[in-house]
Amino acid sequence: RPLAASASDSFAGADNVAFDGPAWSEGVSHGELVRGGRDQTLTIDPCKPLRFLYQGLESHAPGVEYINLPYRLGLLTATGPNPISRMCPRSVE
């Protein structure tokens, strides 16, 4: 069974993303995991919370042409256990 077999199990979506202030995005568009190094190995540190830099669309943009949609960047940070953190050799707090 896939990890994201339903909307409530998705990596990042309306059911499992919380904002520090008012919600500014109705959803999470494409993005990239924040890596642990500066080289081309694409390493993720399992001992740190997962972070995901994504493109979000501001909620109040009706009738705007696609090219002018008010996209902006957001940063998601995992707050609970995940499959990656289980690979950390020391306990994650």
Percent of the chain past pLDDT 70, that is, above it, reads 82
0.75 surpassed by pTM? no
Band of pLDDT at residue 4, cut at 50, 70 and 90: low
* pLDDT tens, residue by residue, 36-75: 888 888 888 888 888 999 988 877 667 778 888 888 899 9
Is residue 46 within 8 A of residue 70, CB to CB? The reply is no
* Residue 82 burial by Cβ neighbours in a 10 Å radius (0-12, 13-18, 19+): middle
